[in-house]
Amino acid sequence: MIYALVTARKGSKGIKNKNLKKIGKLSLLEKTFKIIKKSNVFDKKFCSSNCSKILNISKKNKIYPVKRPSIISKDKSHSIEAIYHFYEFLVKKKIKMPKIIFLFQPTSPFVKTDTIKKILKTYAKYPKTNSVISVYKINNKYNFVNQRILDKKNEVKFLFEKKRSKMFRRQDKPDVYVHGNLFSFKLNQLLNQKNITPKPIRAVKLKSFYETIDIDTYEDLNLAKIIDQNVKI
């Protein structure tokens, strides 16, 4: 059993009603629902939210609504709290427990169905894997050995001075990846390890930067609109 869980709370400070903002004809929430349906791999689909409007949209899209308490829907709340609540919801409703859950965030509206399928193939190829995430290789310019901090007088200090002295050349630096914003995990192992990415963890490498976009500001939203209008995802 493979379930899709969309976490879409209300109350974002950066962009009001962020998950309901539109990119083209669809809201971020609806675009995520469309991706999930298009993949055609999920036995059941759910949306966890503390927002009645989001839950109603979920119901209209045949996504099972899960009413999330406000106490675990705040800015400082963690995704794992929503997952624990979802688990309790399944127990209460006597819904069969899934083996694997994919966690979707509407703020990442360009996830490819091919990525979802590659993640499932990873579980099949490596049966002992307990979580699989998407990752994207970052440009050398942003390699961790190049990171700096500034003091009050804007004097520069490298965070990893010793490593940088040994890895000054581009070809000496290790490949570094950022999260591609798609989580998946075996539910029983998340409960056992109390971690959203229970070990051992594997990754699927993304070829497109667009999949990594996480909309948090109006600049991010405007960029997503431009991509949606001009790039074939």
pLDDT digits (tens, 9 = 90+) for 14-54: 898 999 999 999 999 999 999 999 999 999 999 999 999 99
Give the residue numbers spanning the domain of 98: 2-138+176-230
Q: Is residue 165 part of a domain?
A: no
Q: What is the pLDDT of residue 141?
A: 82
Q: Is residue 164 part of a domain?
A: no
Q: Is 11 left (phi over 0), alpha (psi -120 to 50) or beta?
A: left
Strand duo 131-137 + 177-186: pairing: antiparallel
CATH code for the domain of 190: 3.90.550.10
Longest Cα pair distance anywhere in the chain, in angstroms? 60
Q: What is the pLDDT of residue 233?
A: 67
Strand partners, 5: 46, 103
Q: Is residue 155 part of a domain?
A: no
Residue 130's contacts (CB-CB under 8 Å, 6 or more residues apart) are: 185, 186, 189, 193, 198, 199, 200, 201
Number of structural domains (the chain) is: 1
Report the first-to-last Cα separation within the chain, whole angstroms. 28
Q: Is residue 162 part of a domain?
A: no
How does DSSP classify residue 176? -
Mean of pLDDT over the chain: 93
Predicted confidence (pLDDT) at residue 192 exceeds the cutoff of 70: yes
Single pTM value for the model = 0.91
Lowest mean pLDDT among 4-8, 127-131, 178-182: 178-182
Q: Is residue 81 part of a domain?
A: yes
Q: Is residue 111 part of a domain?
A: yes
In the structure, what pLDDT confidence band is assigned to residue 231 with cuts at 50, 70 and 90?
confident
Query: Cβ–Cβ contacts within 10 Å for residue 185, how many?
Result: 24
Q: Is residue 147 part of a domain?
A: no
Q: Is residue 211 part of a domain?
A: yes
The tokens describing 147, both together, are 């990171």
Q: What is the pLDDT of residue 60?
A: 97
Average confidence (pLDDT) over 163-172: 76
CA-based torsion, 133, 137, 138, 143: positive or negative: positive
